[in-house]
């Protein structure tokens, strides 16, 4: 039953639709669960559309009717401010009907299974569900069981595709391209869904990715991601065009993955001296929320090379693009 559901809802999107150039839109997926496996044309379709939709954010009247009559649910089983607000702003600017459910108000607290939650949502007729969950694979679980479209807003340690897309959009905007760029991602690699989405997306677009972090926060199989992986950040930073710092989860200290915040910042923090190893015009990025003074000192976070707030702006644009593409609506 679950497989049939998937096949049927896919089939609805297999017929080609026109885009502004009159050619077929490179988008036929029901859901956005991750960037792994997306092709370069698919990624470009999202990024191009996000660039066009970003214009809305510069208008005094930020309202279009693109998604009027479409119902979007944000279903966050894990706390989030930035991502959730960003999806909600994106939906509102395009006139979608938005509903939010969070763990404290949801029936998950009353012991309802995810399967029952999914069936209930289906019965209410949502067109699209934006979901964050603490377990890797939970959005896929939902997507296989719902006719509604599902966007993964972060699942466990797995992926956070719209974060990856907003990172790519920001880099492309600043550098004019992604092809051939050297991107260093530094921090808790093994537990980072942001690192995974960035990695798949950037590689598909022709960028080179290097990973660095404490040995306790790297996969044991360093070839797992098929990219260069280092324990010393200096090796990853050398000549980089982009430096992406990952948030350190403080609870990892209790699990023994690093001894003290001080030691972490000393060996893996992006100090101004370390940043000088990268290209002089290297971009400094962070998915937020930042631990100032831990993985990134204030002078770098707020420095000339930082594009951290532009990432946030682009997040809204990318999410508008994803909502319209998945719902099969033209962005006019």
Q: Which residues are annotated as catalytic?
A: 82-83, 110, 132, 160
221 binds other proteins (CB under 8 A): yes
Query: What Rg do the C-alpha atoms of the chain give, in angstroms?
Result: 20
Which listed range, 20-28, 78-86, 88-96, 220-228, lies at the site for other proteins (CB under 8 A)? 220-228
Which listed range, 129-137, 170-178, 298-306, 315-323, lies at the site for other proteins (CB under 8 A)? 129-137
30 binds other proteins (CB under 8 A): no
How crowded is residue 243: how many other Cβ atoms within 10 Å of its Cβ?
A: 28
Residue 209 β-bridge partners: 183
Nearer to other proteins, 41 or 219 (CB): 219
Which listed range, 3-11, 99-107, 110-118, 319-327, lies at the site for other proteins (CB under 8 A)? 110-118
306 secondary structure, DSSP code:
B
Count of residues that interact with other proteins, criterion CB under 8 A: 25
Peptide bond before residue 289 is cis, with ω within 30 degrees of 0: yes
329 binds other proteins (CB under 8 A): no
Nearer to other proteins, 122 or 173 (CB): 122
Nearer to other proteins, 155 or 331 (CB): 155
CA dihedral 142, 15, 63, 151 (to 10 degrees): 20
193 binds other proteins (CB under 8 A): yes
Q: Which of 119, 70, 77 is nearest to 92 (CA)?
A: 70
> CB burial class (10 A; 0-12, 13-18, 19+) of residue 171?
buried
Site for other proteins in 7-26 (CB under 8 A): none
- Helix and strand element counts for the chain (H, E): 13, 9
227 binds other proteins (CB under 8 A): no
CB of residue 34 to other proteins, shortest distance in Å = 9
Q: Which residues of 133-142 are buried (b: 16+ CB within 10 A; e: fewer)?
A: beeeebbbbb
Contact track, other proteins, 135-154, x by CB under 8 A: xxxx-xx-------------
84 binds other proteins (CB under 8 A): no
225 binds other proteins (CB under 8 A): yes
Give every CB contact of residue 271 below 8 A, 6+ residues apart in sequence: 265, 297, 300
The single residue among 57, 114, 277, 312 that binds other proteins, judged by CB under 8 A, is 114
Query: Cα separations (Å) of 83 from 131, 154, 189, 289, 325?
Result: 10, 9, 20, 11, 19
Is residue 324 within 8 A of residue 49, CB to CB? The reply is yes
220 binds other proteins (CB under 8 A): yes
Which listed range, 44-52, 108-116, 167-175, 231-239, lies at the site for other proteins (CB under 8 A)? 108-116
CB of residue 146 to other proteins, shortest distance in Å = 14
Give every CB contact of residue 262 below 8 A, 6+ residues apart in sequence: none
Q: Which of 304, 328, 324 is nearest to 316 (CA)?
A: 324
Nearer to other proteins, 155 or 241 (CB): 155
115 binds other proteins (CB under 8 A): yes
List residues binding other proteins (CB under 8 A).
Answer: 36, 113-115, 133, 135-138, 140-141, 155-159, 190, 193, 196, 219-221, 223-225
């Amino acid at each position: 039953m679950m497989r049939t559901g998937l096949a049927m809802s896919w089939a609805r999107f297999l017929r080609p639709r026109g885009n502004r150039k009159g050619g077929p839109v490179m988008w036929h997926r029901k859901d956005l669960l991750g960037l792994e496996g997306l092709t370069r044309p698919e990624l470009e379709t999202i990024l191009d559309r996000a660039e066009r939709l970003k214009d809305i954010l510069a208008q005094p009247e930020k309202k279009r009717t693109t998604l009027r009559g479409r119902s979007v649910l944000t279903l966050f089983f894990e706390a989030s401010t930035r991502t959730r607000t960003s999806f909600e702003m994106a939906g509102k600017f395009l006139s979608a009907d938005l509903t939010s459910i969070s763990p404290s108000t949801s029936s998950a607290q009353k012991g309802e299974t995810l399967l029952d939650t999914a069936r209930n949502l289906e019965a209410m007729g949502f067109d699209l569900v934006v979901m964050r969950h603490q377990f890797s694979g939970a959005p896929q679980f939902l997507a296989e069981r719902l006719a509604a479209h599902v966007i993964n807003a972060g699942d466990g340690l797995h992926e956070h595709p719209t974060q990856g897309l907003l990172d790519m959009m920001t880099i492309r905007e600043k550098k004019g391209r992604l092809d051939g760029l050297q991107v260093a991602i530094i921090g808790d690699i093994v537990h980072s869904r942001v690192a995974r989405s960035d990695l798949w997306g950037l590689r598909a677009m022709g960028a080179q990715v290097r990973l660095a972090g404490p040995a306790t926060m790297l996969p044991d199989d360093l070839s797992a991601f098929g990219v260069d992986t280092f324990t010393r950040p200096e090796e990853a930073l050398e000549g980089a065009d982009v430096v992406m710092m990952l948030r350190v989860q403080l609870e990892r200290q209790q699990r023994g993955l690093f001894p003290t915040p001080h030691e972490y910042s000393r060996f893996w923090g992006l100090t101004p001296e370390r940043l000088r190893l990268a290209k002089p015009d290297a971009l400094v990025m962070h998915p937020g929320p930042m631990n100032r003074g831990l993985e990134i000192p204030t002078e770098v976070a707020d420095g000339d090379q930082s594009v951290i707030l532009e990432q946030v702006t682009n997040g809204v644009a990318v999410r508008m693009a994803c909502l319209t593409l998945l719902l099969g609506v033209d962005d006019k």
